[in-house]
Amino acid sequence: MANTDPCVVVLQLTGGNDYVNTIIPYNNPLYRDNRPAVGIPDNNIIHLDQAHGIPDYMAPMKAFWDEGKMAICHGVGWKESPRSHFRAMDIWHTCEPIKVGTEGWLGRVAREFDPHKENVVQVVSMGPSLPRALVCPGVPVACVAGPLERYGFLPQVQGNERTAVLDRFAKMYSPAIGSGPVMDYLSETAIDSLKGEDIIKVAPQKYTSTVEYPNSPIARKLKGIAQAHCADIGSRIFYCDHSTFDTHAGQNPGHSLLWKAVSEGVAAFWADLRAQNHADNVIMLLFSEFGRRVHDNGSGTDHGAGGVAFVIGEKVKGGHFGEMPSMEASKLVQGDLDPNMDFRSVYSTILDKWLGLNPAPIVNGTFEKPAFLN
């Protein structure tokens, strides 16, 4: 029986994706004026409508648009956004633009769903590090760095001995009294992973697919997510990323390779989910920590402010949400698009309309909710 709880997949475009070369205002003369070096030539633009296009290297995304299953959220960011990758990403993850946040927004979601930690594989992150968005005290996250099959402790110990050794290991990580926050964190991580490994490891056995994924890191991560999702192990939050979108130089070859990998991976992922009848309860959010400067620097683009986010899914209402901030020189902030949709608005719609949660305590405030979900 397929799990029907709503699930969220986040694909983070790390490094600052260039908004105006992703959603191109191809009729706007200011686009050409500002992009003498890295503008996408007219015959390489796929039109979405009378005003917006995407570069041809994002071609697989067009199908989602045509089906009305892709929402484009314009001008996302926040006022006073820093041009630092590090800090900007932190703010996206924690919804704390002023102080340093310790809880991630998705970590809070996970805690709401499962306050007693009944499912240790509710949150699955593909990659060797743990994104701050998923961090929340008491919330287990299964971080899968390689193929799902290789997830587990002490693989060299097998047979009858294994149960005894893992039992000893579990006891070493379950001290009667706490011994400091980092020690406790280690304990929790180990015990949760120990419980999760048998579930994660066998997920691929429950998975058969005819969909061929491209050979790219992001496609491998998305395939891992599809395997976990289709195994119906109760995972509801999935995270992955692709990098680096920090295209200060050599943008045109660079940006195209990045988006080609992402678009093809995303297309394979959805084809897979649909083929397995596991697509209806999933939405996917693609975001980046900031957009890039409006005027190019002769070969690439420097750090900017307002950016673009995408939400894709069977239940998503496709279309434009918000509008692209003006490229008029007088409207720019330090040469950058002035964000006109708070990023927490995008989260708020997802939380309210998709996950059925009150957004305010999760995103630290009340924000407008663009209507890309009914």
Partner 1 sequence: MAYQDDIELMAHLMRRAGFGADRDELEARAAKGYEATVEELLHPETQPAADPYTLLRYQPASLLPGGQPPMGNVNWLYYLVNTQRPLEEKMALFWHHVFATGNSKVDNYDQLLEQIQLFRENGMGNYRSLLSKVSRNPTMIFWLDNQQNHGTAVNENWGRELLELFSLGAGNYTEKDVRECSRAFTGWTFETKIPRAPYGRFPWKFEYRPEDHDDGEKEFLGHKGRFNGEDILDIVVQQPACGKFICRHLYNFFVADEPQVPAWPIESPRDQKAIDTLVGVFRDSKFEMKQVLRVLFNSDFFKNARFQHMKSPAEVVVGTLRFVGGYELPKPGYGELSMNTAYMGQDLLNPPSVEGWHTGKEWINSGSLMARINFMAEKVGDTAAPGVRGIINRLKAKGSLSPDQLVDGCLDLLGPVQVGADTKQQLLSQANEWGQVSWNNGSSEVADEHVGQMLQLIVATREYQFA
- What are the residues binding partner 1 (CB under 8 A)? 14-15, 82-87, 90, 99-100, 125, 128-130, 140-146, 151-156, 168-169, 171-177, 179, 182-183, 185-187, 189-190, 192-193, 196-197, 243-244, 246, 248-249, 297-300, 302-303, 334
Helix (H) or strand (E) holding 346: helix 343-349
Rounded Cα–Cα distance for residues 210 and 199 (Å): 23
With respect to partner 1, which residue has the nearer C-beta, 33 or 212? Answer: 33
* Cβ at position 294, least distance to partner 1 in Å: 14
**Among residues 220, 293, 291, which one has the least CA distance to residue 261?**
220
Whether the CB-CB separation of 118 and 235 falls below 8 Å is answered with no
Q: How far is the CB of 171 from partner 1 (least distance, A)?
A: 5
Nearest to 304 by CA among 320, 280, 288: 288
Query: Minimum distance from CB of 161 to partner 1 (Å)?
Result: 10
251/263 with CB nearer partner 1: 251
CB of 71 to partner 1, least distance (A): 28
- Lookup: tokens for 148: 């799902």
Choice between 99 and 116, CB closer to partner 1 = 99
C-alpha 56/C-alpha 77 separation (Å) is: 26
Is the CB of 259 or the CB of 367 nearer to partner 1?
Answer: 259
**Shortest distance, position 345 Cβ to partner 1, whole Å:** 24
CB 261 within 8 A of CB 243: no
**Smallest gap from residue 145 Cβ to partner 1 (A):** 4
Rank residues 2 and 145 by Cβ distance to partner 1 and give the closer one.
145
Closest distance to partner 1 from the beta carbon of 88 (Å): 9
Rg of the chain over Cα atoms, rounded to whole angstroms, equals: 21
Hey, what long-range contacts does 270-273 have (CB within 8 A, 24 or more apart)? 270/64, 270/312, 271/211, 272/209, 272/211, 272/213, 272/223, 272/226, 272/230, 273/226, 273/229, 273/230
Instruction: Output 25 or 82, the one with its CB closest to partner 1.
Output: 82
Listing DSSP states for 46-92 in one string gives EESSSSEEEEGGGHHHHHHHHTT-EEEEEEEE-TT--S-HHHHHHHH
Q: Which is nearer to partner 1, 91 or 279 (CB)?
A: 91
Nearer to partner 1, 7 or 120 (CB): 120
Burial class (CB in 10 A: 0-12, 13-18, 19+), 154: exposed
- Minimum distance from residue 138 beta carbon to partner 1 (Å): 14
Nearer to partner 1, 301 or 349 (CB): 301
Report angle CA 21, 25, 29 to the nearest 5 degrees. Answer: 110
Query: DSSP labels for 223-252?
Result: HHHHHHHHTTS---EEEEEEE----SSSHH
Per DSSP bridges, beta strands 237-243 and 142-144 are unpaired
